[in-house]
Amino acid sequence: MDKSAIAGRTGKAQGLQLCKVCGNYSQQAMHPHHCPFCLNEISQREKNSLQKTWALLITAIIFIFPANLYPITYLLKNSTLYPDTIFSGILSLVDSGMQGIALIVFIASIVVPFVKIIALSVIAFSVQYGWNVNPKKQLLAFYLVDWIGKWSILDLFVISIMVAIFDKGQLLSVYPGIAATSFTIVVITTLFAANSFDTRLIWDAQTDE
């Protein structure tokens, strides 16, 4: 097991594999399926990483349209229904003089999902077709996407608070719309897409050239 690993060369070239869960390395030939230390599943690279990332990204791209075009919340006021899309909600925040809050919501619900999808697509494309993009920049972009990812859930939490506060039946109520579900799917699929992407593929694509 402790066959000396040579620093400065990839583990893949030396027939070694790293366990994602416990962080120990072992020889691929001796332990083809399970990590000898923690018994979790192991492989040299995450299996079908690129396919999974693509599948989830495409789902996100499909659902981002209904998420932005359909109403995300309905305000029921004196028996009249006022629909609000993500963008019209932000505009009404600007109109009522809350630019700071509008900016936070704009970044969390519009900028972050789009940036995530675009950045992950560029990284996945450059891995698949061996584009000549600086690997360190790709990794930096990936870490950024990974870190900002969870902040796009902000709008969903705000909706849940609003729904609970405005609960007066026909007089004054808030209901989530179709876009709320679509937006949730976008957030979840992009989070999973980032999770299923194996960053080492970026470097594998470089050495293949």
Partner 1 sequence: MVSHVPKIAKGYVAKCIRCESLLYKNISCNPSAVLALCLAALILIVPAFYYPLISIHLLGTTEQTNLLRGALMMIDNAPVVAFIVLFCAVIAPTILISSIALSSACLTFNYHPGYLPKILKITYVIMHWSMLEVYMVSLMVAVFKLMNYAELHFGVGFYFFIALLLLNLTIINNYSHHSYWEKYING
Site residues (CB under 8 A) for partner 1, limited to 34-73: 37-40
Site residues (CB under 8 A) for partner 1, limited to 169-208: 171-172, 175-176, 180-181, 184-185, 187-188, 191, 195, 199, 203
Sheet strands (E) in 85-126: none
Does 167 sit near partner 1 (CB under 8 A)?
yes
Identify residue 78 by its one-letter amino acid code.
Answer: N
The CA distance from 177 to 83, in Å, is 8
Name the one range near partner 1 by CB under 8 A: 5-13, 53-61, 114-122, 124-132: 5-13
Least separation in angstroms between residue 86's CB and partner 1 is 13
Identify residue 50 by its one-letter amino acid code.
Answer: L
List of residues 6+ apart from 16 with CB closer than 8 A: 5, 25, 26, 27, 28, 44
- Dihedral, 112, 115, 117, 121 alpha carbons, nearest 10: -160
Provide the binding-site residues for partner 1, judged by CB under 8 A.
Answer: 5-11, 14, 16, 21-24, 37-40, 93, 96, 98, 100-101, 104-105, 135-136, 139, 143, 150-151, 153-168, 171-172, 175-176, 180-181, 184-185, 187-188, 191, 195, 199, 203
